[in-house]
Amino acid sequence: MSHPSISWPPGTVSRVPYAVFQQADVFAAEQQRVFEGAVWNFVGLEAELANANDFKTTFVGRMPVVVTRDADGEIYVFENRCAHRGALIALQDFGNAKEHSCVYHAWRYDLAGNLQGVAFEQGVRGKGGMPAGFDKRAHAPRQLRVTVLCGLIFASLGDEVPPIEEYLGEEITQRLARVLGRPVEVIGRFTQALPNNWKLYAENVRDTYHASLLHTFFTTFGITRLTQEGGVYISECGGHHASASYSRVVEGGEGAYTQQAIRSQNAELAIGDLSMLQSTDEIGDGIVLQMLSVFPGFVLQQIHNCIAVRQILPTGVESTDLVWTYLGYADDTPELRRMRLKQSNLVGPAGFVSMEDGAVGGFVQRGIEAAGGECSVVELGGHDTRTQDFRATESSVRGFWRAWRTHMAL
């Protein structure tokens, strides 16, 4: 595949050409070089495949895949494409089946994606059928490598991708385990359609700068501000990050918003049920908000006691599906589970916080319509992709672009 026609300012990741969000050749190249390349793509949770023969369907980039658990507990991921004429093999989002059969011509596959049966393979009454020498073992959809970490299922088509702990690095692995080190249950899910390129949302979740500016709810009700203690950790490759904030305010930071005339509260906002703001430090380390991302399209959030994973799925040059899965711990008390469900109103397409995230990517996509030759300015906190002990920075956004350019060879 030829290189996309993108002109990057030399020697920097603090300038991002808007064309990367607009061009069809970039979008096509990403499918092979990123999603089908040497990366681990999040495809689901072990908790979603609790029983033998459970399956789910999802995507790796634009590629539809089936995720299954066999009778021995082994997890497999294979392309959701019949080797015969290309139809989807599995049509349901979730289900339980001992094998899978294509609805078009009834070619049958086992739970690892191996072709097991061809309808009328021997023809009818000695006539027709597949030619002599047809070998079912040579005909199957693509099968992906699979790994599981902290109950998260990742899959890869890349032969060169390292083991998941090495791919993430020690710090990101530890921060995943911080939240997902206990058995979880799915307590809610939905899919949100975003009117923008997938990379704009990938930027957004790594962008701590906007959190208390765009999300007035955060600052009005004291959930998080940039004046709270915290920082951003960025993996060596740049592509993975974890940001955290504590309830403590940094010394001398109390008046920072007022001094700069930055909107920090909205007197018109009120909550009828203040119990939604109640929380408990169940992890015990004082972190009230952690956002973690794994390149290219996985997000783990902990906002007080609201825990969720998000899967970023590109559907077109200017469209993205964002799959949300809310989680609780399997040993939640009834009171804690009610607290989680109340706090889940913070996030999602109608959430008190992240409703704005669903709109602002579209604002950018529309705003750059005639600016394909221009670049964004991503300089807050410097020009590099270092870990920093503060959150007024775009270092992790630059880290994403560093990783993206590496995989895209740009």
* Torsion angles phi and psi, residue 40, rounded to 5: -105, 120
| β partners of residue 133 | none
Q: Say what the pLDDT of residue 368 is.
A: 97
For domain 182-408, the CATH architecture is Alpha-Beta Complex (3.90)
The whole-angstrom separation of Cα 287 and Cα 246 is 5
C-alpha closest to that of 301 among 325, 317, 335, 322: 325
Tokens of 233: 């950790």
Q: Say what the pLDDT of residue 355 is.
A: 74
Q: Say what the pLDDT of residue 230 is.
A: 78
- In sequence order, what are the residues at sequence separation of 6 or more whose Cβ sits closer than 8 angstroms to the Cβ of residue 368? 18, 21, 22, 374
CA atoms within 13 A on the CB side of 22: 18
Residue ranges for the chain with pLDDT beneath 70? 1-2, 210-228, 247-270
Instruction: State if pTM tops 0.75.
Output: yes
DSSP designation for 33: I
Cβ atoms 241, 232 nearer than 8 A: yes
| β partners of residue 186 | 327
Q: Say what the pLDDT of residue 264 is.
A: 52
Q: Say what the pLDDT of residue 265 is.
A: 57
DSSP designation for 375: E
AA identity, residue 238:
G
Q: Say what the pLDDT of residue 231 is.
A: 87
Say which residue the tokens 């399956």 belong to: 55
C-alpha closest to that of 306 among 234, 223, 243: 223
Give the 3-state secondary structure of residue 329: strand
- Please state the domain extents for the chain: 41-148, 182-408
Cβ atoms 264, 147 nearer than 8 A: no
* Torsion angles phi and psi, residue 380, rounded to 5: -60, 130
Give the 3-state secondary structure of residue 222: coil
Q: Say what the pLDDT of residue 222 is.
A: 64
Q: Say what the pLDDT of residue 213 is.
A: 66
Cβ atoms 74, 60 nearer than 8 A: no
Q: Say what the pLDDT of residue 226 is.
A: 56
AA identity, residue 125:
R
Strand ranges of the sheet holding 287-294, from the earlier edge strand across to the other edge:
184-194, 319-329, 306-316, 298-303, 287-294, 241-249, 228-234
Q: What DSSP string runs through 298-324? A: EEEEEETTEEEEEEEEEEETTEEEEEE
For domain 41-148, the CATH architecture is 3-layer Sandwich (2.102)
Q: Say what the pLDDT of residue 346 is.
A: 81
Q: Say what the pLDDT of residue 356 is.
A: 77
C-alpha closest to that of 188 among 392, 354, 328: 328
